[in-house]
Amino acid sequence: MTGFLAEHHLPGASLAVARDGRLVYARGFGLADPESGELVRPDSLFRIASLSKPITAVAVFRLIEQGKLKLDDRLVDWIDAQHQGRPLHPGDARLKQVTIRQLLQHRGGWDRSVSFDPMFRSVRFARELGLEPPAGPWQVITAMWTRPLDFDPGAHYRYSNYGYCLLGRIIERASGLPYETFVRREILEPLSIESIRMGKTLLTDRAPREVHYKVGETVKSKVGRAVVGPDQGRMVPLPYGAWYLEAMDSHGAWIASPTDLVRFASAFDPARYGALLNESSIKEMFARPDAGPDEASQPSYYACGWNVRDRQPRGRLTTWHTGYLDGATSIMVRRHDGLTWAVTFNSDVASNGKSASSLIDPLLHKAANAVEEWPMKDLFEGRSDNDQK
């Protein structure tokens, strides 16, 4: 990790590793804030971007276990899109076919490579609706409701942040609670996780212990036009105003430490079935989607909120997710042999222009494979200095 940061000119990172549900390693590396010299600690908080999606998926399955949702419920039966008090009719008849399962599996019909990513059009959508920008989640949905889909629901896997925005609103309607409140009560509190919280767009709203984000050196444009805040319309650093994090709650707005992420991810190991979900729900969450022969032949796939590789020793699964926003990237891995780890960076790309999380991934696997004997008890017991290990 130390050599990786130096080689790729990255300010800081944090790594946590668990084995069979027990934390065995937690350490901060480098600088949480290059300007002040503040060090990264194991309890430093990072934007985790799309690592938020597994959290949202688990929230959906909690509601299913509570009898409040079904995987094959239709989207249109849960979302009541309106504008200025008048109901909006779907602009594409196929929208009536979209199910919660398809939203979880990124098969709802939206393809950002064909059209665009709705979650990054907060100014345009607000103005279309006659509102002051930026657009929040419901305004994004209102603006999208009358637009056509990019493909038939269920036909393809196409990664969609918007699909998880919709899931956040379904969670709110089914639970009767704000999305964040439901996740805290039903997922974080049962695991005794207190520090994970919603992130904020502006630097002035940075949470206690949250790192300072820096766009990678190889990124050509490090600024964008502000969509929110006192500098709206002017050029600002990309991580602090060029997009609206608050609208991304259920697909990309959580901030967390790797220690809490591995505590969350370990809740789906066999020894902890029932901590959040029962065995049947966990199997369903990781199940391979119904797909054509080309997809079915692939060694890995996207299930409900997780990437999965199911052709592993003894039939066990490796599941993972990555996250990326300007100034932050992360990865969380549940390996087939009972190892779980998470690593977060307060920058995005390495010196070769590739995502830091994708580059560190094989190195972590190699390092884990080299360990011959793992500790029998936790090494991390409340200490939070930069060199804890």
| Beta-carbon count within 10 A of 117 CB | 14
Q: In what order do the strands lie in the sheet with 318-325?
A: 38-39, 22-33, 12-19, 339-345, 328-334, 318-325, 307-309, 300-302
Q: Is the dihedral of CA 121, 124, 130, 132 positive or negative?
A: positive
The rounded distance, in Å, linking the Cα atoms of 83 and 143 is 9
Going by pLDDT thresholds of 50, 70 and 90, the confidence category of residue 378 is low
Q: Could you tell me if 90 and 76 are in contact, meaning their C-beta atoms sit under 8 angstroms apart?
A: yes
Query: Residues for the chain: how many in total?
Result: 389
Torsion of CA 266, 271, 276, 280, to 10 degrees: 120
The rounded distance, in Å, linking the Cα atoms of 236 and 213 is 13
pLDDT > 60? residue 381: no
Which residues is 12 bridged to in the sheet? Answer: 30
Going by pLDDT thresholds of 50, 70 and 90, the confidence category of residue 387 is very low
Please write the tens of the pLDDT for every residue from 75-125: 999 999 999 989 999 999 999 999 999 999 999 999 999 999 999 999 999
| Beta-carbon count within 10 A of 16 CB | 26
The rounded distance, in Å, linking the Cα atoms of 106 and 163 is 7
pLDDT given at position 293: 75
DSSP SS3 for 66? coil
Please write the tens of the pLDDT for every residue from 219-255: 989 999 999 999 999 999 999 999 999 999 999 999 9
pLDDT given at position 294: 75
Task: Name the region of 79 (left: φ>0; alpha: ψ -120 to 50; beta: rest).
Answer: beta
Going by pLDDT thresholds of 50, 70 and 90, the confidence category of residue 379 is very low
Q: What is the pTM of this model?
A: 0.95
Which residues is 15 bridged to in the sheet? Answer: 27, 343
The rounded distance, in Å, linking the Cα atoms of 45 and 255 is 6
Please write the tens of the pLDDT for every residue from 28-57: 999 999 999 999 999 999 999 999 999 999
Of 97, 107, 109, nearest in space to 73 by CA: 97
Of 259, 279, 261, nearest in space to 270 by CA: 279
pLDDT given at position 147: 97
Please write the tens of the pLDDT for every residue from 162-220: 999 999 999 999 999 999 999 999 999 999 999 999 999 999 999 999 999 999 999 98
Please give the domain boundaries of the chain with CATH numbers for all domains.
Answer: 2-51+198-370 (3.40.710.10), 56-188 (3.40.710.10)
Share of residues in the chain with pLDDT > 90 (%): 90
Which pair of structure tokens corresponds to residue 128? 């279309």
pLDDT mean over 312-338: 92
Please write the tens of the pLDDT for every residue from 312-323: 776 789 999 999
The rounded distance, in Å, linking the Cα atoms of 202 and 200 is 6
pLDDT mean over 132-138: 97
